[in-house]
Structure 1
Amino acid sequence: MGRKPILPRVWHFASFGAPGVVIYLCFVMAPILISFGYSLTNHNPFSPPAEFVGLENYRLLFQDEQFLTALRVTTILTVIVVVVPNVLGLGVAVLLDRKGWLYNALRSVFFTPVILSSVVVSIIWTKLLDDRGPVNDALRALGVEHPPGWLSDPDLALYSVASIVCWQMLGFCVVVYLAGLQGVPAELLEAAEIDGAGPVRRFRAVTWPLLAPSLTINTVVLLISAFKTYDYVKVVTNGGPGSGTTATIAFDVLATGLDANHVGYASAMAMVMLVIVATLTTIVLRFLRRREVDL
């Protein structure tokens, strides 16, 4: 039997794949390439023309204390946001993995923050954590004379911002883990119970290994979301209190590019951020997917 003509097959593939490829090239690859081009110049929209400086922006970047501080802040924020919602989300999902209208209602309650705008969430928590806000008023009512400055204390502000991000992302983790829990075959749990395994043993030997895909999804989504955190910082602390105590890399990129108009330098920061996120995501995916394969 002769092979089918290649032209119809190419046309068939192009008709389905071309729209996605064009969108990807226009809205993902093109901005990345343009940003990389800007990063090799000293481009400032209010001081034309731009001059080619090569890798000078990158060299200055790793000598810039402000950028290194932002990298440290982003790392701390990312570790907290990846670990805390994952752990709490798994615990809440296990508790809600039951039938009944009450558990269905609680699932909706936990997921509600996810659908809210991050700006709205930030404004709400800014009011709650204000020095004269409801949280500190409640602490004073309990006898605490000098409540913490959740957003005004440089030692606490970053952890307050991280807590807000964790609070909003918790519901996402709960839903993903619930989907994983409901996909665990009941016969495996029954077989383990017949063999004498208790609840903890059943969870560790049967349920947890089968939640590997859920762990992968949550970890990657949280990693990317935490590393590009900007809106929470902008609304809640505006990078303060003090000098850059909560300023993430994403916050510094926009502040440098839009406020200070140093587009070339900001583009170099954005490219470094892209490389870091891509590298971390690749490593995490490879590690977690290997765990899935080994099941």
Structure 2
Amino acid sequence: MAAAEVAAPLDTRRDRGAATKARLGPKVWHFISFAAPGVLVYACFVLAPIGISLWYSLTNYNPFNPPTTFVGLRNFGLLFEDQEFLTALRVTSILTLIVVIVPNVLGLGVALLLDKRGGLYNALRSVFFTPVILSSVVVSIIWSRLLDSEGPVNELLRALGVSTPPGWLSDPDLALYSLASIVCWQMLGFCVVVYLAGLQGVPQELLEAAAIDGAGPVRRFRAVTWPLLAPALTINTVVLLISAFKTYDYVKVITNGGPGSGATATIAFNVLATGFDANHVGYASAMAIVMLLIVAVITAIVLKLLQRREIDL
């Protein structure tokens, strides 16, 4: 009798285990069928390169000057004594701050102006979005010609009576801001489209109710429209932040890090110059890892703050 009582719970547990396996089986198979290829690609092309770079950053790896030795954290210690890297960090921070703020503000203003129906407004939306689909190299070449000392912009200023137009790309005090303006110009259309999508998702009933209550256009924007644009603000800010912090192609094509001593050299520019021009792959990998950590931390903080604002709304 006692043996039968003990066997019954054991059989129940076996049945439950078999049922659990039966339920998990299809889920595991679905993961293998659909998620595993994506995870594999992500591991091969994202996680593996990061792991390799991390290993290189702990060595003095130079493909043309063997042997490679393990140096630990020495590369990271040297980075924060390297004035060239610290200058690149300052340049990248200024560039990122400008690129995050200016397209966001201007993009919102343009989106409000274009939030109307009609063929003209559809055409204008296409015009503003066109720079986004252009190659950054093409944009860089076009603007480097326009802002050249003898380019159309300075020729126009001379025609207007300016005897000595500024050196937009040759003056160390102006070059970084000219470069940032070019990046902002190309990213403006992206912000416009995202904000337009957000504006078209604002319920008209809320705006009409606010108008009935006596709220003017400014009050309706502050109380109704702007809070509902929180997701659009999050998308634009995070995309602009990441794009600006890893800026390389504009710098390479337009100024090559100059004028002067690194006036426009970003961290990404220094990483490639150190790794591929000077062949100090270990040191360049340490720069890349630091840049990755900075971007990851700042992005996580910004994303957390902006998403908290969305939840509070």
Taking structure 1 as the reference length, the TM-score comes to 0.99
Distance 2:24 2:311 in 1: 36
Which residues of structure 1 form unaligned runs of 5+? none
Give aligned pairs, total. Answer: 295
SS in 1 for 2:77: helix
**In the alignment, which residue of structure 2 is the partner of 1:41?**
59
Distance 1:50 1:187 in 2: 67
* Aligned AA (2:66): P
* C-alpha deviation, 1:214, in angstroms: 0.1
**In the alignment, which residue of structure 1 is the partner of 2:5?**
none
* C-alpha deviation, 1:205, in angstroms: 0.2
* Aligned AA (1:262): H
Distance 1:9 1:21 in 2: 16
Cα deviation digits, residues 72-110 of structure 1 (max 9, x gap): 000000000000000000000000000010000000000
**In the alignment, which residue of structure 1 is the partner of 2:206?**
188
C-alpha spacing 1:5/1:196, structure 2 compared with 1 (3 Å): closer
SS in 2 for 1:42: coil
**In the alignment, which residue of structure 1 is the partner of 2:36?**
18
SS in 1 for 2:111: helix
**In the alignment, which residue of structure 2 is the partner of 1:110?**
128
Mapping of 1:127-138 within 5 angstroms?
127-138=145-156
Taking structure 2 as the reference length, the TM-score comes to 0.93
* Aligned AA (2:236): N
Cα deviation digits, residues 86-136 of structure 1 (max 9, x gap): 000000000000001000000000000000000000000000000000000
Residues 1:283 and 2:301 aligned together:
yes
* Aligned AA (1:227): F
Cα deviation digits, residues 5-50 of structure 1 (max 9, x gap): 4223211222111011001100100000000000000000101121
Mapping of 1:147-186 within 5 angstroms?
147-186=165-204
Distance 1:170 1:9 in 2: 43
**In the alignment, which residue of structure 1 is the partner of 2:75?**
57
Distance 2:175 2:292 in 1: 26
Residues 1:216 and 2:202 aligned together:
no
SS in 1 for 2:292: helix
Distance 1:12 1:174 in 2: 39
Cα deviation digits, residues 152-173 of structure 1 (max 9, x gap): 0000000000000000000000
* Aligned AA (1:38): Y
Residues 1:255 and 2:273 aligned together:
yes
The more displaced of 2-11 and 30-39 is: 2-11
The more displaced of 11-20 and 156-165 is: 11-20
SS in 2 for 1:240: coil
Q: 4+ residue stretches of structure 1 with deviation over 2 A? A: 1-9
**In the alignment, which residue of structure 2 is the partner of 1:28?**
46
Q: Percent identity, aligned pairs only?
A: 80
Distance 1:24 1:231 in 2: 24
1:66 to 84, 101, 108: 84
**In the alignment, which residue of structure 2 is the partner of 1:79?**
97
Residues 1:203 and 2:221 aligned together:
yes
Cα deviation digits, residues 229-280 of structure 1 (max 9, x gap): 0000000000000010000000000000000000000000000000000000
Structural RMSD (CA): 0.9
Distance 2:217 2:67 in 1: 68
Residues 1:97 and 2:115 aligned together:
yes
* C-alpha deviation, 1:195, in angstroms: 0.2
**In the alignment, which residue of structure 2 is the partner of 1:267?**
285
SS in 1 for 2:263: coil
Distance 1:286 1:194 in 2: 36
SS in 2 for 1:153: coil
* C-alpha deviation, 1:188, in angstroms: 0.3
Distance 2:304 2:148 in 1: 42
Residues 1:293 and 2:311 aligned together:
yes
Distance 1:117 1:133 in 2: 21
